[in-house]
């Protein structure tokens, strides 16, 4: 049976402090953003009086905040496990956290003090043409917040990139490309290194694309005579956004590779199909984003064709090898179904089920009808709420396991099923509403749409209660003095 807490996962004092900050901050922001989401659903359902300007401020903060925080929490997953194989610097991990907090504060100030409500996409020229609803300074502050967060992630990725190169020679060897066409496969090559290498490649490019478009928009805001190509700006924004959220999933899935073998007692090794899946996904994630632009008739036809074709395949290679690997890893293994193990398996279901409506929406004939309906928030809430967030929670409960045994039954037996039921109700309401063409992003709904909003609100309340129980339990455990503090296997500079 694999050791649940091997020595090379032990945290030094500084590492523990920084990781605790990541965990507590992520949980706090998750809860806050969930409350924002609940307020929007209840406002649409007339259970709460939410003026339209406040609704769009909440929507902007919720979108930017949830995606950013999922990224932050997923970084913690990648850092915690990758440092066992390559020497990471805790200073870069801490810098990412500090810049994230500064960026998040800038975004919240831009939204709730400056009134910025242009959504996470900051699509040109909306930020500088608000009809007086918000100032150019508020829009600029929002974009500066994004830049700060992006710089933090980039520092973290560069540190991981250099560490992988030092140990494995280059990024191609970290990704396992040398074994794609032959040679004796080293089955001890860590899946964590493969996933991390893919992430640092794609998200470094995505963040650089985002930085370019943010700087362009900031210059335009204060020097409006410098006009921008709206189509280029939109492409860069969606390239950045799509790559970022996909990279968050691929960072978080490392928790599945690392944790399930602890409880099943079976090794999770690499194989050629596994390496091919990650290599193909590295390319496809970078070129699939045009499926967000299928309704933009001015897009080059070839780009829309690529977006259409790759939409059907981009999410499948890594998911298939991961889901198959997870099922074979636990089948007849006598696995101990602790809370981290349950969360890891839940994430496989959430990821799989969330992909299905996404692929459906990626079909042009469907996209023309469904893309601006609640079908879209239905699919991405599905794989974020029931896929990625359980992966992150699995790490958090794994970290506190050695320090906390008391209180575990309540966290698992009550909140875990509550989270699943609430999550299914919540995303089901979105998908059902999208199926009957209830529009997305409307602050005020027609009477016939209200039942979907109200059912969704009930689901959201259940999810928030479960997440609150998780948060209290994890935070209380982190505040306790650990039983022992061994030095990690690698230096932390």
What are the tokens at 234? 């939109």
**Can you give the pLDDT at residue 183?**
86
- Assess contact for 68 and 145: CB atoms under 8 A: no
Cα–Cα distances (Å) from 102 to 61, 114, 149, in that order, read 15, 16, 8
Positive or negative, the CA dihedral 395, 388, 93, 477 is negative
**Can you give the pLDDT at residue 407?**
43
Residue 50 to residue 40: CA distance in whole angstroms: 7
Positive or negative, the CA dihedral 354, 355, 356, 360 is positive
Residue 448 to residue 263: CA distance in whole angstroms: 48
Top pLDDT among 453 and 362 is at 453
* Four-CA torsion 359, 202, 68, 80, nearest 10 degrees: 110
Residues 6 or more apart whose CB falls under 8 angstroms from that of 24 comprise: 475, 478
Q: What is the mean pLDDT of residues 202-210?
A: 97
Which has the closest alpha carbon to 213: 187, 235, 189?
A: 235
Residue 256 to residue 184: CA distance in whole angstroms: 26
Average pLDDT, the chain: 91
Which has the closest alpha carbon to 142: 126, 166, 161?
A: 126
- pLDDT tens-digit series, residues 449-479: 999 999 999 999 999 999 999 999 999 999 8
What are the tokens at 62? 């919720």
**Can you give the pLDDT at residue 20?**
96
Residue 278 to residue 199: CA distance in whole angstroms: 10
- pLDDT tens-digit series, residues 372-411: 999 999 999 999 999 999 999 999 999 987 555 444 556 6
Which has the closest alpha carbon to 58: 86, 80, 37?
A: 37
Which has the closest alpha carbon to 236: 130, 146, 311, 359?
A: 146
Top pLDDT among 121 and 409 is at 121
Residue 247 to residue 241: CA distance in whole angstroms: 10
Residue 16 clears pLDDT 60, i.e. is over it: yes
Scored b (16 or more CB within 10 A) or e, 136-159 reads: bebbbbbbbbbbbbbbbbbbbbeb
Residues 6 or more apart whose CB falls under 8 angstroms from that of 74 comprise: 247, 248, 249, 251, 252, 388, 391, 392
Positive or negative, the CA dihedral 248, 357, 272, 278 is negative
**Can you give the pLDDT at residue 295?**
81
Q: What is the mean pLDDT of residues 114-129?
A: 93
What are the tokens at 334? 């006598």
pLDDT band at 305 (very low <50, low <70, confident <90, very high): confident
Residue 488 clears pLDDT 50, i.e. is over it: no
The CATH architecture annotation of domain 7-479 reads Up-down Bundle (1.20)
**Can you give the pLDDT at residue 362?**
78
**Can you give the pLDDT at residue 406?**
43
Cα–Cα distances (Å) from 53 to 209, 359, 444, in that order, read 30, 33, 11
Compute how many other C-beta atoms are within 10 angstroms of the C-beta atom of residue 134: 22
- Assess contact for 21 and 101: CB atoms under 8 A: no
Residue 364 clears pLDDT 90, i.e. is over it: no
Residue 246 clears pLDDT 90, i.e. is over it: yes
DSSP code of 68? H
Q: What is the mean pLDDT of residues 2-10?
A: 75
H/E segment holding residue 361: helix 339-361
Please tell me the pTM assigned to this model.
0.93
**DSSP assignment of 64-122, as one string?**
HHHHHHHHHHHHHHHHHHHTTTS---HHHHHHHHHHHHHHHHHHHHHHHTT---S-TT-
- pLDDT tens-digit series, residues 406-441: 445 566 678 999 999 999 999 999 999 999 999 999
Residue 254 clears pLDDT 70, i.e. is over it: yes
Residue 373 to residue 413: CA distance in whole angstroms: 35
- pLDDT tens-digit series, residues 159-185: 999 999 999 999 999 999 999 998 899
Cα–Cα distances (Å) from 468 to 49, 379, 388, 419, 424, in that order, read 24, 24, 17, 10, 18
Residue 75 to residue 83: CA distance in whole angstroms: 12
**Can you give the pLDDT at residue 308?**
83
- pLDDT tens-digit series, residues 188-201: 899 999 999 999 99
Q: What is the mean pLDDT of residues 41-51?
A: 97
What are the tokens at 387? 């896929």
Residue 348 clears pLDDT 80, i.e. is over it: yes
Q: What is the mean pLDDT of residues 205-231?
A: 96
DSSP code of 443? S
Residue 337 to residue 350: CA distance in whole angstroms: 18
Residue 490 clears pLDDT 50, i.e. is over it: no
- Of the listed ranges 87-96, 170-179, 333-342, the least confidently predicted one is 333-342
Residue 399 to residue 16: CA distance in whole angstroms: 10
Residue 203 to residue 209: CA distance in whole angstroms: 9
- Assess contact for 38 and 96: CB atoms under 8 A: no
Which has the closest alpha carbon to 488: 44, 52, 80?
A: 80
């Amino acid at each position: 049976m694999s050791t649940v807490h091997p020595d090379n996962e032990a945290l030094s004092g500084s590492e523990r402090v920084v990781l605790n900050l990541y965990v507590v901050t992520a949980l706090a922001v998750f809860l806050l953003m969930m409350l924002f989401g609940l307020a929007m659903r209840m406002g649409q359902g007339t259970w709460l009086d939410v003026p339209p300007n406040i609704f769009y401020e909440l929507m902007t903060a919720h979108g930017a905040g949830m995606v950013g925080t999922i990224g932050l929490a997923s970084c913690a997953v990648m850092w915690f496990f990758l440092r066992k194989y390559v020497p990471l610097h805790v200073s870069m991990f801490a810098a990412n956290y500090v810049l994230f907090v500064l960026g998040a504060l800038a975004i919240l100030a831009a939204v709730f003090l400056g009134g910025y409500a242009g959504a996470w996409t900051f699509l040109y020229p909306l930020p500088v043409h608000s009809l007086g609803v918000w100032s150019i300074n508020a829009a600029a502050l929002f974009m500066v917040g994004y830049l700060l967060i992006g710089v933090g992630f980039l520092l973290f990725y560069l540190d991981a990139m250099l560490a992988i190169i030092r140990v494995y020679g280059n990024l191609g060897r970290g990704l396992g490309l040398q074994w794609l066409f032959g040679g004796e496969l080293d089955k001890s090559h860590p899946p964590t290194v493969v996933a991390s290498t893919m992430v640092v490649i794609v998200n470094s490019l995505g963040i650089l694309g985002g930085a370019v478009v943010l700087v362009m928009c900031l210059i335009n805001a204060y020097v409006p005579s410098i006009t921008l190509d709206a189509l280029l700006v939109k492409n860069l924004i969606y390239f950045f956004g799509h790559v970022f959220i996909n990279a968050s999933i691929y960072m978080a899935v490392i928790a599945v590779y690392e944790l399930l073998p602890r409880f099943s007692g079976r090794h999770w090794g690499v194989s050629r199909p596994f390496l091919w899946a990650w290599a193909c996904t590295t390319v496809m994630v970078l070129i699939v984003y045009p499926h967000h632009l299928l309704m933009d008739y001015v897009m080059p036809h070839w780009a829309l064709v690529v977006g259409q074709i790759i939409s059907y395949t981009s999410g499948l290679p890594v998911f298939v090898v991961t889901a198959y690997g997870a099922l074979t890893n636990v089948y007849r293994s006598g696995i101990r179904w602790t809370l981290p193990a349950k969360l890891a398996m839940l994430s496989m279901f959430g990821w799989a089920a969330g992909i299905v409506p996404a692929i459906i929406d990626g079909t042009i004939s469907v996209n023309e009808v469904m893309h601006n309906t609640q079908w879209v928030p239905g699919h991405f809430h599905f794989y974020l709420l029931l896929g990625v967030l359980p992966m992150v929670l699995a790490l958090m409960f794994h970290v506190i396991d050695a320090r906390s045994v008391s209180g575990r039954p309540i966290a698992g037996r009550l909140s875990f099923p509550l989270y699943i039921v609430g999550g299914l109700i919540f995303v089901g309401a979105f998908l059902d509403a999208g199926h009957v063409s209830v529009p997305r992003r409307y602050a005020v709904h027609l009477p016939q749409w209200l039942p979907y909003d109200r059912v969704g609100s009930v689901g959201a309340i259940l999810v928030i209660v479960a997440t609150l129980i998780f948060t209290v339990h994890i935070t209380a455990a982190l505040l306790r003095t650990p039983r022992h503090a061994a030095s990690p296997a690698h230096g932390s500079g």
